[in-house]
Amino acid sequence: MTIERLGIVGGGQMGAGIGEVAAKAGIDVVIVEAAAEIAEKSQGRISASLEKAVSREKISRADADATLARLQFSTEPGELADRQFVIEAIVENLALKEDLFAKLDSIVTDPDAILASNTSSIPIIKLAAQTNRPDKVIGTHFFNPVPVMALLELVQSLKTSEETVERARSLGEQLGKQMILSKDRAGFIVNYLLVPYIVNAIKMFEEGFASAEDIDNGMKLGANHPMGPLELADFIGLDTMLFVQEVLYAEFADPFYAAPPLLRRMVDAGLLGRKTGEGFYRY
């Protein structure tokens, strides 16, 4: 059951975090990015995170070096051919993910290899339907920042086999995560609850009901959340927030899930939160 060769597509916030945790657990990891300079950025992101872990005495220098040595970066999806388990962590866009799953199905040679998605919201069956192995497609939804957050939310589609769920659970154990199992509906368990909460904070701010600081302090000081909802939106990325809200709206056809115009305008303006240096706050 043990996974020795993991592939990751997309080395952004999430792909880099998953890669770091997997390599730290002794797994050989290949991360495929869209372009060489982004792959370099991904490597830099992991090095910086490991430096922080060394400085906080969470990991030894030798283990950090060994972790980096287990990571390979590439722009060539063909490098994933020998992987036993591939996790897709590209942008939250259905058409791009569907296209990628069709390609991965022909690239990954072992027919028993699992193809997983880190999607925040998209029903897994939509991705599984692009492959000839829908029983081996599953949602592996990690949380940001992956080296710190304990949870791995597994998502079983109507076609995902029990064996695939067990193999994904076993990978989660290798990575030291705690698992929950969700059925296949937009938003799964956590984002069905979390994303409307954050979006309601955006609506409150947009209406001028309260300042960003007061909304965030309300939830930090009054509900013991480590970040307020607007800080958290900036941390997740406003592009991802908007994509997820659109997937929820498409699934439930309920105006409650309609994205507020302010969120759309901020994404149009490239104000995506921490990743671009400005969102509800400046970084």
| Local structure of residue 143 (DSSP, 8 states) | -
Q: Considering only residues 7, 10, 19, 229, which one is a binding residue for ligand NAD as defined by CB under 6 A?
A: 10
Binding mask 96-125 for ligand NAD (x = CB under 6 A): x---x-----------------xxx-----
Q: Is 226 in the site for ligand CAA (CB under 6 A)?
A: yes
With CB under 5 to 8 Å by kind, the binding choice for 145 among ligand NAD, ligand CAA, none is: ligand CAA
> With respect to ligand CAA, which residue has the nearer C-beta, 227 or 250?
227
Choice from 3, 6, 13, 116 touching ligand NAD (CB under 6 A): 13
Shortest distance in whole angstroms from residue 73 CB to ligand NAD: 11
Does position 53 interact with ligand CAA (CB under 6 A)? The reply is: yes
**CA 232/CA 221 separation, integer angstroms:** 15
Q: What is the DSSP string of 195-212?
A: HHHHHHHHHHHHTTSS-H
- Told to judge if 191 belongs to the known catalytic residues of this protein, a careful annotator would answer yes
Cα–Cα distance measured from residue 20 to residue 22, given in angstroms and rounded to the nearest whole number: 6
Q: What distance lies between CA 141 and its chain's CA centroid?
A: 6
170 is catalytic: no
Cβ(115)–Cβ(142) under 8 Å? no
**Binding segment (CB under 6 A) for ligand NAD, from list 29-37, 52-60, 158-166, 198-206:** 29-37
Task: State how far the Cα of 94 lies from the Cα of 243, in Å rounded to an integer.
Answer: 9
- The interface partner of residue 9, options being ligand CAA, ligand NAD, none and the CB cut-off 5 to 8 Å by kind, is ligand NAD
Tokens 């390599």 -> residue = 23
Q: Taking the alpha carbons of 248, 254, 256, 258 in that order, is the dihedral positive or negative? A: positive
Distances in whole angstroms, Cα of residue 224 to Cα of each of 190, 217, 218 = 18, 10, 9
* Options 4, 40, 52, 176; binder of ligand CAA; rule CB under 6 A: 52
Q: With contact defined as beta carbons under 8 Å apart, do 39 and 72 qualify?
A: no
- Position 10 contacts ligand CAA (CB under 6 A): no
Instruction: Mark whether 20 is an active-site residue.
Output: no
Active site residue 225: no
Residues in the chain: 283
Catalytic residues: 120, 141, 153, 191
In the complex, the residues that contact ligand CAA under the rule CB under 6 A are 49, 52-53, 56, 58, 120, 143-145, 147-149, 191, 194, 226-227, 232, 236, 240
